[in-house]
Structure 1
Amino acid sequence: MVCVCDYSEMWENLVGCVCGKIKDEPSISIGQQQKKKIKGIVVLKKKNVMDVTDIRASLVDRIHELLGKGISLQLVSSHSAGPGKVGKEAYLEDWVPKLTSLNAEDDALYDVSLDWDESLGVPGALIVRNQHHSQVYLKTVRLEDVHGQGPLHFLCDSWVYPAHRYTHDRVFFTNETYLPADTPEPLLFYRQQELMSLRGTGAGMLKEWDRVYDYAYYSDLGMPEKGHRYARPVLGGPDYPYPRRARTGRKPNKKDPNTESRLFLLSLNSYVPNDERFNQVKFADFIGYALKSIGQVIVPEVKALLDKTINEFDTFEDILRLYEGGVKLPDAHSLKNIRQCVPWELVRELIRSDGERFLKFPVPDVIKGDKSAWRTDEEFGREMLAGVNPVVIQRLQEFPPRSTLDREQYGHQDSSITRDHLHKNMNGLTVDEAMEKNKMFILDHHDALMPYLRRINSTTTKTYATRTILLLQPDGTLKPLAIELSLPHEDGDALGAISQVFTPCDHGVGSAIWQLAKAYVAVNDSGYHQLISHWLNTHAVIEPFVIATNRQLSTLHPIHKLLKPHFRDTIHINALARQILINAGGVLEITVFPARYAMEMSSFIYRNWNFTEHALPVDLIKRGVAVPDQSHPYGLKLLIEDYPFAVDGLEIWNAIEAWVTEYCCIYYPATDDEVRGDTELQSWWKELREVGHGDLKDKPWWPKMETRAELIQSCTIVIWVASALHAAVNFGQYPYAGYLPNRPTVSRRFMPKPNTDEFAELESNPDLAYLKTITAQLQTLLGVSLIEILSRHSRDEIYLGQRDNPEWTSDGRALEAFERFSVALVEIEKRIKERNEDKTLKNRYGVVEIPYMLLYPNTSDYTREGGLTGKGIPNSISI
């Protein structure tokens, strides 16, 4: 879309002669030395394009141009002695009369002519000063034919605020790559000064124009001023260890000085380093979809209405109407109480123009082909290998399963499942025979939940800690054999667990009981997935890497260039999560069973986090689903051959590892001394361990970063976690959990006991009993809204094997290696598609007929599609 500026004709008449004079300015001589004119093209976005409501910015900036306050560029030599000598300032041309688009996806291009003394050699940096009233987003600067060596590229990708906002000039480097010791001497000063600017002072409240990357505890989740129900412990430190998040510097809460004050509930303006914020396209998409997830604001009012009418689903058909026609609500007049507490625009977004229905969701894949196939035992087992949380299943290596919880504190917590429970469904095998043949597997959520279960069940939640034992069938599927439901002893934790064991049944009330037992397992798995597999093990653990990389590795550093694409938008999405999702009373606490103990429980589990175990081969071997075997690809043998996440994941892992290896060998080609002698790299790794993940700094598993192999291992893990692992546990949420009966997030009552009204209801109407047990209607609406947002790809997503700019480096060796990586990913995707078409691989498709596409890397048929594609690996944790 091309937009004619409202003021264009006026400004053309006023300043046409001025612009012409600038363009015709001749070369300038200093002394006897003739300066060469270097022509350049500057690509940027104006603030009035990125924020179309700010007409004032456009007007004032044009006035500033007339007064000689433009945007200037100044080249810095990379070959002079001492700090690089600089050329004469030059200003962007034609700012006033140039017509620019209001489309956020369109760039504005400006010419610039810079004087340069060729005796100073090739420029290595660019000083940019913005004398305008408002900021601009500077994307790239391309200089033509510099020093006879062809074009020179500066990849800026940064907001440049008015110069008075900065202590130091904004400096951008060319796309050259240098280790610290190899940096041309004239650039060293600027390299070090830029890093110091990014570290900040560690004090004060950070403003939008600040570019500071710093660390803080998770002290911004609670709202103690609202009472003890909204107080939350600070996560980080010896009592509640946790990864660090980006500091905002907001003032302490008046009620509790250890808690940071929070913004207004719906505010999305929490401080994020400005170059880490969503771009306009991404933010527009996010806001548009997030309008459905307004639970924190209207929950009290909507709940009051729905409790009197439709807060329970009476039948599965009621749930299907969410996708087929929405939910009937009272008319607008009846919603007047809601209108008093939230903007009416938000309510209007949720209801049709006739006021009858709202929240009509897309049909989740799990019920597209068959509305009841999700109930089968085969699908129950398959989703542990190819569903939204395929990273927990383990091989059963001792029987009965043993707990690792402290016996003095928690008593006897070992499993009460016996051989007699299992043998009747084991196809003639004994437990010992099946274990010897590596055919016994377990989904074990017992130890993770039991320490918090008493407190969790003191809320409206009523759930169990579960263990599920499964048998690997000859056709490669997993058959559930028994489910154990455990509660803390009613007389105290130290007395151990009280457990019940349930086995499959396909008729009568026994069938209904078995369906309920599977529902409790799904509740456990949903909560663990959202809090641990997804939030903690991808979002939270990667944020310290983003901070440390920006603080300690210059943009000239090869490892900064390697990792930068995998950090896009992560700090911003995490800040939004702390503001509206994982905070006290947030959407996650409302919709997932641990409720107010959710984040505290994730801290308990973080104690056992191990960075090196997030290497996929190490993870698979640790969980016992693979064994080391050098005769097999990747040096291991999968014990479940048809394990879609592992099969596809190993190919992706291997491609990432090969790319990282080839890249690192370019810059550390000779000995490990090059790694040990890299001052920025060593500072990066030290800060990451001792500050970013400081609560675990003394763990012996941390790589020492003394060898190239350790560098390759660490970078491969970071890229894998930020890209493929996150894709595997995130983008399948709506396809599988968008239909809440398949993945309930809450259970509200315990298993019915014989001779009770609840048991009688289970016998007479098992569907109604199931629905009364799992997630209630209001929580379902909020939960499905949330996962619909989280499962969407942005239209501007950049996928694995892609870069946002082909000139990201000037090093041809790195570009060639990256091209090989991209080609390898295309070939991997072809092989994944071939496997999905192989009907003998039952776990890839299942009775619900969903092909496993979550680890499709990046082919062009959906690269710019966005939305609920259910496929594709973005470079970074961006949603």
Structure 2
Amino acid sequence: MSANYEVTLDTGDDCNAGTIDKIYLSLVGSLSSSDKFRVWTLSGLYCGSSKTMTIESKHELGEILLVKLYKDKHLLLPEDSWYCQYVTVKAPNNTVYNFPCYSWLVDENTLTIIEGKARRRCDYQSPILEEHWINEIQSRQEAYQWSTFVPGIPRNIKAENTTDLPKDAQFTVGRKLNLVFNIDSAFLDLGLNPLKASQKMWNNLGEIRKSMDLSKVPIAAYVLKHWKKDTFFGYQFMNGSNPQLIKQCTHLPSKFPVTDEMVTPSLGPGTTLQEELQKGNIYIVDYEMLDGIPANSICGKQQCLEAPMCLLYLNPENELIPIAIQIRQEPGPQNPIFLPSDSKYDWLLAKIWVRHADMQIHQLVSHLLETHLFAEIFCIATLRKLPNAHPLFKLLMPHLKFTLHINTSARQLLISEGGVFDQAFSTGGIAKVQILQRATEQITYSSLCLPENIASRGVGKLPKYYYRDDALKIWSAINRFVENIVKIYYKDDATVLGDSEIQEWATEIFTEGFLARQSSGFPTTFHTRAELIKFLTMIMFTCSARHAAVNSGQYDWGSWMPNNPSTMQKPAPSEKGKTVKSDIMCTLPGTLETATVIATIYLLSKTPPSTAKLGIYVEERFTEAEPQACIEAFQKDLQQVTLEIEKRNENLELKYEYLLPDRIENSVAI
């Protein structure tokens, strides 16, 4: 007996999503399959369009399990890929089946879409779906393969260029990376073009100030005005572009022999350094990871790199101020401890050395490794081990979107041989590789889980630490959302343990991403729902809020170059009282390095033309009512976070806005 099925095809709204190629489809049901039907349209399937057609099947198909899409190109025309967003099928009995697709149909291939209900491996209870699962995983593992950029760091996607990536992993036209990383246009936007061809030193700070207009960037203008102040120097460790390094200091390291006599002028009368250590008012930032790393050579000139330590004091006014800086790790007569009571140029240069070290760790570790490269691990493993229908694939995919494209471009343009790091950073060349390797050896699962990270650093009660406050709110909102989703699909701990797909997924992340290093503490198996919820929260937070915190403010805090110098061209002072004003200018990056870095961070900090903000899921992968209700609850939670941040910011001279939910992108895609 014949039956009519109403099929609606929705084309994505990106400007090249449509196609003029010939599109066909067939329906696969639990009882039978339809013939292959041509999708007839005079103007083609254009972007943002919806095409409804009626398919007459010779037989009742039963429950609709799959939709198969086919494409043939016209004989004399180039291939025209099509982005299918969604397919809806209405059966004769008025049952509606939803097929979220969000994939490209390329060349003369076949695209098979499973019905949208989320399901785990044990839910594929038909030979048709079993075969689909096998084919999907096999196809994904062929398309997304692991590669090694350099040994000793997380592995990456196998692709030399972004064009090597599967079409689904590439930027849409609205986000094409050749626009994002157009350094030449950034030079022109910033008025830096005349500097591009020069290779000279700056004469004075006024010359740097005149090179570009920072008045239209409020935080950058604030940095320019306050960067020499000790209170502002301390503030940046909490709320600047790299707010994750500061730790409470309960006892002084033997390598940092600060005495009471040295810091009494900073602590004031009636107290001692030991008393303030016991009270929890002393903090430290230690760049030991840079120790012994060979500095880069730029245009044949050897650069300089040190591993400073900075001791900070939370004073009675709740201001965090630096009280001692040692520029090298090993104490001794040639490595003095610089103090606020020293000459103003000694003290200023010592602080610049700290800011320089912070710039290196920020870019290579806090930003590149701990957000971009880790997000890539999560993305590749998810694509290789979890099929489209898996509830965790549906949950995570919006937070992994476009990461492979942005990272492939970064390897090609920023950290490749001759890239931006080699051109303008003291940690270019072999240095960047060694730092990434050291950081990979030291990273732990606990350090990526925000509440544990804050507790281990002893900064839970540090006043005015707005990054911590806002990040914890975001973490909690994500955690509640994840918990609600997990409880829908995993009724108890045994259900988690019995899901072979997520166990293999966890093992792949541990093995390929964290190089099977047991000391990292990364799980290879999930035994309980609580373990799974924590892991998923960590992934979503890393790919969204953690990245926003270290990426969005790069231009704000680094456009005034002396505050975040990318390289140092003169060795650090080995004695006090000898630094003069000209020494600072000779030490700072030259005009070419300055222009290159500022243009780069300007581009990296820009809001892309097409964004997906945290909790806004433009791809409706979940089709059931329960997870959709969870998404609505998550969005309400984020709205409350927004209100709380905005209320706090009303009373601040310098607002902290990087973790406002509508300024956080779902994924690492810039």
What TM-score comes out, normalization by structure 2 length?
0.92
Distance 1:132 1:831 in 2: 54
**Are residue 646 (structure 1) and residue 459 (structure 2) matched?**
no
2:348 to 515, 519, 537: 515
CA separation of 1:666 and 1:651: change in aligned 2, threshold 3 A: same
1:571 to 381, 404, 410: 404
Q: Residue 119 of structure 2: SS of its match in structure 1? A: coil
CA contact (8 A) 1:135 1:160 kept: no
**Are residue 171 (structure 1) and residue 137 (structure 2) matched?**
no
User: Which letter maps to 1:776?
Assistant: G
Residue matched to 2:153: 242
Distance 2:277 2:63 in 1: 67
Residue matched to 1:36: 4
Cα deviation, residue 75, structure 1: 1.1
Q: Residue 568 of structure 1: SS of its match in structure 2? A: coil
Q: Residue 452 of structure 1: SS of its match in structure 2? A: coil
CA contact (8 A) 1:438 1:639 kept: no
Residue matched to 2:432: 598
User: Which letter maps to 1:75?
Assistant: L
Cα deviation, residue 740, structure 1: 0.8
Distance 2:534 2:40 in 1: 48
Distance 2:215 2:469 in 1: 29
Superimposed CA distance per residue, residues 22-65 of structure 1 (whole angstroms, 9 cap, x where no aligned partner): xxxxxxxxxxx12213242332479xx5399xxxx96xx4xxxx
Cα deviation, residue 606, structure 1: 0.8
User: Which letter maps to 1:582?
Assistant: I
Residue matched to 2:16: 50
Residue matched to 2:631: 818
Cα deviation, residue 750, structure 1: 2.5
Q: Highest CA radius of gyration, 1 or 2? A: 1
1:88 to 21, 32, 35: 35
CA separation of 1:147 and 1:243: change in aligned 2, threshold 3 A: farther
Residue matched to 2:312: 470
Distance 1:753 1:647 in 2: 39
CA contact (8 A) 2:296 2:428 kept: no
**Are residue 419 (structure 1) and residue 210 (structure 2) matched?**
no
Residue matched to 2:451: 617
Distance 1:777 1:536 in 2: 28
Superimposed CA distance per residue, residues 503-552 of structure 1 (whole angstroms, 9 cap, x where no aligned partner): 0148xxx0111111100000000000000000011111221211111111
Residue matched to 1:789: 603
Residue matched to 1:873: 664
Residue matched to 1:528: 361
CA separation of 1:302 and 1:732: change in aligned 2, threshold 3 A: closer
1:856 to 654, 660, 667: 660
Cα deviation, residue 649, structure 1: 0.7
User: Which letter maps to 2:134?
Assistant: Q
Cα deviation, residue 452, structure 1: 1.2
Distance 1:673 1:161 in 2: 41
Distance 1:725 1:465 in 2: 25
CA contact (8 A) 1:42 1:112 kept: no
Superimposed CA distance per residue, residues 199-225 of structure 1 (whole angstroms, 9 cap, x where no aligned partner): 11xxxxxxxxxxx0110111xxxxxxx
Residue matched to 2:502: 681
Superimposed CA distance per residue, residues 460-499 of structure 1 (whole angstroms, 9 cap, x where no aligned partner): 212321111011122322011011111679xxxxxx9952
Q: Residue 838 of structure 1: SS of its match in structure 2? A: coil
Residue matched to 2:24: 72
Distance 1:432 1:663 in 2: 49
1:306 to 198, 207, 222: 198
Residue matched to 1:433: 275
1:666 to 484, 488, 496: 488
CA contact (8 A) 2:295 2:303 kept: no
2:133 to 191, 213, 220: 191
Cα deviation, residue 378, structure 1: 0.8
Q: Residue 36 of structure 1: SS of its match in structure 2? A: strand
User: Which letter maps to 1:215?
Assistant: W
Cα deviation, residue 196, structure 1: 0.6
**Are residue 395 (structure 1) and residue 248 (structure 2) matched?**
yes
CA separation of 1:270 and 1:143: change in aligned 2, threshold 3 A: closer
What's the RMSD between the two structures over aligned residues? 2.8
Cα deviation, residue 700, structure 1: 4.4
**Are residue 213 (structure 1) and residue 144 (structure 2) matched?**
yes
Superimposed CA distance per residue, residues 430-461 of structure 1 (whole angstroms, 9 cap, x where no aligned partner): 1111111110001111x201131578899621
CA separation of 1:427 and 1:150: change in aligned 2, threshold 3 A: farther
Superimposed CA distance per residue, residues 172-205 of structure 1 (whole angstroms, 9 cap, x where no aligned partner): 12221111111241322112211111111xxxxx
Distance 1:586 1:666 in 2: 47
User: Which letter maps to 1:835?
Assistant: R
Q: Residue 306 of structure 1: SS of its match in structure 2? A: coil
Residue matched to 2:380: 547
2:558 to 731, 737, 748: 737
Cα deviation, residue 590, structure 1: 1.9
Q: Residue 443 of structure 1: SS of its match in structure 2? A: strand
Superimposed CA distance per residue, residues 368-401 of structure 1 (whole angstroms, 9 cap, x where no aligned partner): 25742121111100010000000000000212x2
User: Which letter maps to 1:619?
Assistant: N
Residue matched to 1:692: 513
CA separation of 1:271 and 1:503: change in aligned 2, threshold 3 A: same
CA separation of 1:736 and 1:364: change in aligned 2, threshold 3 A: farther
2:536 to 702, 715, 732: 715
Distance 1:444 1:389 in 2: 13
Residue matched to 2:205: 316
Superimposed CA distance per residue, residues 734-772 of structure 1 (whole angstroms, 9 cap, x where no aligned partner): 11111111111111113457799xx4xx54xx2x43222
Q: Residue 704 of structure 1: SS of its match in structure 2? A: coil
- More deviation in 371-380 or 702-711? 702-711
CA contact (8 A) 1:569 1:877 kept: yes
Q: Residue 176 of structure 2: SS of its match in structure 1? A: helix
Paired positions, count: 658
CA separation of 1:721 and 1:319: change in aligned 2, threshold 3 A: same
Distance 1:76 1:498 in 2: 77
Alignment of 1:53-452 (within 5 A): 61=21, 70-77=22-29, 79-80=30-31, 85-94=32-41, 96-97=42-43, 100=46, 106-116=47-57, 119-133=60-74, 134-143=79-88, 145-163=90-108, 166=109, 169-185=110-126, 186-200=128-142, 212-218=143-149, 235-236=150-151, 241-248=152-159, 269-283=162-176, 286-287=179-180, 289-292=182-185, 306-307=198-199, 311-324=200-213, 363-369=216-222, 371-399=224-252, 401-402=253-254, 414-428=255-269, 429-445=271-287, 447-452=288-293
Superimposed CA distance per residue, residues 808-850 of structure 1 (whole angstroms, 9 cap, x where no aligned partner): 21111111111111011011011011111224xxxxx4xxxx3
Cα deviation, residue 242, structure 1: 1.2
CA separation of 1:422 and 1:686: change in aligned 2, threshold 3 A: same
Cα deviation, residue 116, structure 1: 4.1
User: Which letter maps to 1:162?
Assistant: D
Q: Residue 458 of structure 2: SS of its match in structure 1? A: coil
User: Which letter maps to 1:814?
Assistant: P
CA separation of 1:617 and 1:591: change in aligned 2, threshold 3 A: same
Gaps (5+ residues) in structure 1? 1-32, 62-69, 101-105, 201-211, 219-234, 249-261, 263-267, 325-360, 403-413, 490-495, 626-637, 840-844, 859-871
Alignment of 1:808-847 (within 5 A): 808-839=621-652, 845=653
CA separation of 1:454 and 1:371: change in aligned 2, threshold 3 A: closer
Distance 1:559 1:700 in 2: 22
Cα deviation, residue 600, structure 1: 2.3
Q: Residue 563 of structure 2: SS of its match in structure 1? A: coil
Distance 1:136 1:44 in 2: 12
Superimposed CA distance per residue, residues 137-196 of structure 1 (whole angstroms, 9 cap, x where no aligned partner): 323233353354554332222121122xx5xx3211222111111124132211221111
**Are residue 504 (structure 1) and residue 456 (structure 2) matched?**
no
CA contact (8 A) 1:323 1:362 kept: no
User: Which letter maps to 1:91?
Assistant: R
Distance 2:575 2:311 in 1: 25
CA contact (8 A) 1:554 1:560 kept: yes
Distance 1:710 1:755 in 2: 53
User: Which letter maps to 1:562?
Assistant: L
**Are residue 584 (structure 1) and residue 417 (structure 2) matched?**
yes
Distance 1:321 1:175 in 2: 57
Distance 2:144 2:497 in 1: 25
User: Which letter maps to 1:548?
Assistant: A
Q: Residue 830 of structure 1: SS of its match in structure 2? A: helix
